[in-house]
Amino acid sequence: MNKINESVLTNELTGLPNCSENLSIHQLTRKITARGEGHTTNTGAVSVVTGKYTGRSPEDKFIVQTDELKDNIDWGKVNKPIDQNTFYSLYIKVVNHLRNQDEFFSFTGYAGADQHYRLPIKVITEFAWHNLFARQLFIEADDNDWDCGQGCFTVISAPSFKADPELDGTNSEAFIIISMEEKVILIGGTEYAGEIKKSVFSVMNYLLPQKNVLPMHCSANVDYDGDVSLFFGLSGTGKTTLSADPGRLLIGDDEHAWSPNGIFNIEGGCYAKCVGLSRDKEPQIYDSIQNGAVLENVICTDGVPDFDNTSLTENTRAAYPLRHINNSVVPSTAGHPRTIIFLTADASGVLPPISRLNKEQAMYHFMSGYTSKLAGTERGVTKPQATFSACFGAPFLPLNPRRYADMLGEKIDKHGVDVFLINTGWIEGPFGKGKRIPLEYTRAMVRAALQGELDEVDSSADPIFGLQIPVTVPEVPEKLLRPWETWNSYESYKLKAEQLAARFHENFEKFTDVDSAIVNAGPLYKPV
């Protein structure tokens, strides 16, 4: 028996008279307004603010270190160890904190749309709105269908419980602690709902590889002939935006897994960034913010959201279930991908807007995970910050990135997948300095790649990065395709590009024992 069961807290939280279980969307919405947690908007969404924490807090995230995990987890800056006793004493405090509330909430459902691989989860929250978030983001069980099976994971979220770092062994008042052994995720001190979904994703990134399933930080959609595409990318690179496509069916916007049977969504809902959201540019996302959706940190006046107001954060969010998008696939499973797109938001304006990757380049760029952290998603990031985030999702990977990369490589090979690198970042030239490449052009490039329109198009070689750039893409100004032509001077382009290439090489040094063909698929330019 484990320590939690032995403790005085044998009574589970659920089952207590003050625990409201599996309330409906309507009931939760009423609770949220009655308890003063938030307001409803003109479209029936719920609007809440999260206070101090408006993005993820990576410094506050820990994994409980046990003998079994010692050699399995890739310990370091992302996966910081915390000892079992520290976890247990904090767990007891948090549970008591919840038990002492007049009311708290519980949702039972699943992570994983494929019945063979799904993980039963329980999300126990102090706030009604976090429970609505969980209901919308995870997968609902059919009535009476929920089966804890071989082990349910419990997420406990108690934002008003603030840790004392000195006493409790945390980094700050906020903490996100994962115990794989106890199957518990303990969250306190922060109200940002993204912690709930991304910590479950971290758990899936640990569990699924054991079942020979590859978890992926990507969105997914499928055309009407069944051709599946994946869009990998770190936060803000366009997974949610670009996967919402009226011409294709949405499978999911953020977390998927690839099994021997095909792909499946880990979640049942989407979590879209809302900064600058307009019906004109992103109609599907805009129209999903209806009854039961949750708006986080969006300023509303008389119930009308102002998506241009970033006074609380750049990282404003909307959470809604997949069924709010009319062309979505629920249950969200599909076949093997035919095309994979790596999204990168290059802040230095030197990566081409689209290039085709051969197999070795695909591996090289997946392992590198070059992009920028965008303002707001992580605490302390206020402007685009270049980063190498392995597998385009380093913050969520408990295992060594090689595990995931090797699995992806095998699958790309086996299924003959086409891979493209698309830069959704900042470009020099025609649209003004410091502007992101217009969304309409990125969409046109994605369309061309997915419809096979680039298969017959010649390509030109990128002089610094060695990427194959299509010479033309329908509906995209030709000049935009080759960054060295958009810069005012070739020399300044070259300098910047060489600097970035050098960073690629430097970052890749951490990968030892890699096939030389993959190492050589990096940038052509090498610093002397």
Ligand X SMILES: Nc1ncnc2c1ncn2[C@@H]1O[C@H](COP(=O)(O)OP(=O)(O)O)[C@@H](O)[C@H]1O
Binding residues for Mn ion, rule: CB under 5 A, are: 239-240, 254
**Residue 194: contacted member of ligand PEP, ligand X, Mn ion, none (CB under 5 to 8 Å, by partner type):** ligand PEP
236 is in an annotated binding site: yes
Q: What is the distance between the alpha carbons of residues 130 and 160, in angstroms, rounded to a whole number?
A: 13
Closest to ligand PEP by CB, 194 or 522: 194
Q: What is the DSSP annotation of 198-262? A: HHHHHHHHHHGGGGT-EEESEEEEE-TT--EEEEE-STTSSHHHHH--TTSEEEESS-EEEETTE
> Which residues neighbour 446 within 8 Å (Cβ) at sequence distance 6 or greater?
242, 245, 341, 422
Output the residue with the shortest Cβ distance to ligand PEP. 235
Q: Does residue number 191 form part of the binding site for ligand PEP (CB under 6 A)?
A: no
Q: Does residue number 194 form part of the binding site for ligand PEP (CB under 6 A)?
A: yes
416 is in an annotated binding site: no
**Residue 401: contacted member of ligand X, Mn ion, ligand PEP, none (CB under 5 to 8 Å, by partner type):** none
Sign of CA dihedral 260, 194, 133, 88: positive
Closest to ligand PEP by CB, 106 or 315: 315
Closest to ligand PEP by CB, 194 or 349: 194
Closest to ligand PEP by CB, 271 or 487: 271
233 is in an annotated binding site: yes
Q: Give the end-to-end CA distance of the chain in Å, rounded to a whole number.
A: 59
Positions touching ligand X (CB under 6 A) are 233, 235-242, 253, 272-273, 275-276, 424, 436-437, 439, 442
Q: Does residue number 56 form part of the binding site for ligand PEP (CB under 6 A)?
A: yes
**Active site (annotated) includes residue 56:** yes
Residue located via tokens 């108690």: 158
**Residue 125: contacted member of ligand PEP, Mn ion, ligand X, none (CB under 5 to 8 Å, by partner type):** none
254 is in an annotated binding site: yes
- Alpha-carbon separation of residue 140 from 13, 161, 312, 330, 440 (angstroms): 20, 27, 31, 11, 35
Active-site residue (options: 254, 346, 418, 462): 254
Q: What is the distance between the alpha carbons of residues 361 and 293, in angstroms, rounded to a whole number?
A: 40
**Active site (annotated) includes residue 217:** yes
Q: Segment near ligand PEP (CB under 6 A), from 34-42, 87-95, 232-240, 260-268?
A: 232-240
Closest CB 319 distance from Mn ion, rounded Å: 11
Active-site residue (options: 118, 122, 183, 217): 217
Active-site residue (options: 118, 197, 239, 411): 239
Residue located via tokens 């061309």: 448
Q: What is the distance between the alpha carbons of residues 331 and 163, in angstroms, rounded to a whole number?
A: 39
**Active site (annotated) includes residue 239:** yes
Strands 333-334 and 262-265: antiparallel
**Active site (annotated) includes residue 317:** yes
Closest CB 349 distance from ligand PEP, rounded Å: 22
The length of the chain in residues reads: 528
The amino acid at 119 = L
Residue located via tokens 């805009």: 286
Active-site residue (options: 29, 40, 50, 56): 56
Q: What is the distance between the alpha carbons of residues 345 and 497, in angstroms, rounded to a whole number?
A: 15
Contact residue for ligand PEP among 31, 93, 122, 198 (CB under 6 A): 198
Report which of 481, 362, 478, 348 is spatially closest to residue 425, judged by C-alpha positions.
Answer: 348
**Active site (annotated) includes residue 52:** no
CB count in 10 Å sphere of residue 96:
13
Residue ranges at the known binding site for ATP: 198, 217, 233-241, 282, 317, 436-437, 442
Q: Which residues are annotated as a binding site for substrate?
A: 56, 192, 198, 317
Catalytically active residues, by annotation: 56, 198, 217, 235, 239-240, 254, 317
Binding region: 56, 192, 198, 217, 233-241, 254, 282, 317, 436-437, 442
Binding stretches for ligand PEP (CB under 6 A): 56, 194, 198, 235-236, 239, 254, 271, 377
